[in-house]
Amino acid sequence: MKPGAKADSGKFQADQPPKPPGRSGLHWSKLRQLSSRTPLRTKLITAVLVLVIMALAAISVASTYMLRSYLVSQHDNAIKPIITQFNATNDLPSRVHPGFASPTPSIVVLGLQQTGSQLTWDPFSRTLPGNPDPLPLLPTRATWPGPFGHAVIITVPALTGPNSWRVMAETVQWQTQAPGQPAQTTTGVLIVTVDLGNINALTRELILFDLLVGGAIVIGLAIVAIAVIRANLRPLDDIELTAGQIAAGHLDHRIPERDPRTEVGSLGRSLNAMLSQIETAFHAREESERAAHRSEERMRRFIADASHELRTPLTTIRGFAEYYRQRGGAKKIKSIFGATDSAASSVATDTAPSSGGMTAEELDRIMKRLESEASRMGLLVEDLLQLARLDQQRPLDKRPVDLLTLAADAVQDARLVAPDRAIDLDVAPGAAFLVDGDEQRLRQVIGNLVNNALTHTPAGTSVRVAIASGTLKSGDPAVVLDVIDDGPGMTAEQAQRAFERFYRADAARNRASGGTGLGLAIVAGLVAAHGGQVSVKTSPGQGADFRVKLPLSPDALPTEDQFSDDLAPDDLPSDDQASTRP
């Protein structure tokens, strides 16, 4: 055998599937399951009764065996001298006829068995009763009972009936002589037997007595055990009741105090201490949650109020900036404010101003910057208002919406904004992609995702919008929308936090990269408000796939193929997402 063959054999054996448990293993498994479902009270009562029954049975068997052995030994002592007496007198033919048995004045029955035959009652015996019992069923083999001078004592059944006999047998010889004939030696078996009917009857009565008395003891002990075990397990019932009340919300309930020197008392004391700590911690948590809720409500009110208050001055600033730009800028400011205004006239000139003045180009640049920042702040305010509405869970104007139409509109808008990019729309075969939702909000979801792809990827990066049928985590049919880009992607940590408010992957928050960090948070909130799911799958250098799942509208007529994600394009990512929001 080559080196290593043994190890390979062992490996092969280790790879084999484990053998199913045998019948005995299944029985033990069922017993363990039954034991685990049985109440403790029932186990204790059953264990006590089983032990008592086993003890009573052992005592009964031992006492019955000892009594029967004692009585049988008395019979043995009665029949042993008879064998010795017959051997001494050697008058067997005169006392016992060969092949027959007859009673004696005592309880002993004598017989002389001939080889190969059974004994019968001697019809010439004067002491034979009118209806004698069946004789013992003796062995008839040639070697029974053994050599001369060797007596055996056995217990054998009767020829008929349930009775039994105690038999002492010994091989004997005697002389017989017919008239005018020489003497002949005959061999037989001397049988000295005693009927055990009385002993058997006494044994049966004793067994019946033991059963009756033992049964009464077991019943009485069962009643006492049930009462004692119930009384001792009542504290556990109190603990169970208290635990149920605490589970129902009554944290002020406690287990009744008992002697701490007992196991139940010590357990109750420990549980009460634990419950006190739990109640204190629970109240502290409730207070903390209430404080956090109040703080959150104040923050939400502040955001909503601040957003509303900021809208008015922002609208005014943007209005003036737009008005300034639409009227031609600084060169026409003189016509706007009037020719008599010397300050306006000096600003409107193309020549260099005096010390402390500014040129028309500088004023135009400042006003453009003012308009840009006002627009940026306006978008932030609108996003904050949108999040405040989502937090307040305001009802949506839901109606059947064709998500394919919204996706096509978003792709067309993106192509106008970024004509240098390849922006495609992939549609999988299936039924109508209808969802019950707010059309404007769903447009905002798709627009935010497409804008996110355009903003956070280099120029020229392709973007693809795919729509297909699928299922939610609950198994309900859904419409699946993917916005996929071939950009730099994100790390696992960035993907995990992509839907957080004010989170941006750019730690420097460079304005050139755009965004306020609220677009994806609004997407997650709107999708959740529609009962859908949003997730992202990405990795560094592999682009990003933002997936939205929305419940299919009951107005749609789904086909059997629509309930599987297998209908999505082959290049769509799976549901093994790096980050998932409900």
Q: Lowest-pLDDT range, 48-57, 248-257, 310-319?
A: 310-319
Can you say whether the dihedral through the CA atoms of 130, 136, 141, 146 is positive or negative?
negative
Query: pLDDT value at position 570?
Result: 43
- Name the band, by pLDDT with cuts 50, 70 and 90, for residue 332: low
DSSP letter, residue 239: H
Q: Mean pLDDT over all residues of the chain?
A: 78
Per-residue pLDDT reduced to its tens digit, 160-194: 888 899 999 988 877 776 777 777 777 888 889 99
Tokens of 277: 């700590």
Does 396-581 carry CATH code 3.30.565.10? Answer: yes
Collapsing DSSP to helix, strand or coil, 90 comes out as coil
What sign for the dihedral angle of Cα 567, 568, 571, 576? negative
Burial bucket for residue 463 (CB in 10 Å: 0-12, 13-18, 19+): buried
What are the φ/ψ torsions at residue 453 (nearest 5 degrees)? -65, -40
CA–CA gap between residue 465 and residue 407 (Å, rounded) = 7
Cβ-in-10-Å burial (0-12, 13-18, 19+) of 553 comes to buried
Please spell the DSSP secondary structure of 380-396, one letter per residue.
HHHHHHHHHHHHTTPPP
CA 219 to chain centre: 41
- Check whether 267 has a pLDDT greater than 50: yes
> Which pLDDT band holds residue 307 (cuts at 50, 70, 90)?
low
* Cβ atoms of 436 and 400 closer than 8 Å: yes
User: Domain residues of the chain, as ranges?
Assistant: 90-176+184-195, 266-394, 396-581
| Distance of alpha carbon 120 from alpha carbon 102, whole angstroms | 9
* 519-529 helix and 439-455 helix, angle to the nearest 10 degrees: 150
Q: Tell me the C-alpha distance between 483 and 447, whole Å.
A: 10
The alpha helices in 327-352, defined as continuous H runs, are: 333-337, 342-348
In the predicted structure, residue 56 carries a pLDDT above the cut 80: yes
**Is the pLDDT assigned to residue 574 strictly greater than 60?**
no
Q: What are the tens digits of pLDDT across the range 11-26? A: 444 445 555 555 666 6
C-alpha pair distances (Å), 494 with each of 48, 190, 327: 65, 109, 46
Instruction: Read off the pLDDT of each residue in 277-297 and give the average, rounded to a whole number.
Output: 81
**Spatial distance between the Cα atoms of 427 and 541, rounded to a whole number of angstroms:** 26
Q: What angle do CA 202, 72, 129 make, to 5 degrees?
A: 70
Q: Give SS3 for 123.
A: coil
Question: pTM value?
Answer: 0.43
Residues in CB range of 384: below 8 A, 6 or more apart = 303, 304, 306, 307, 518
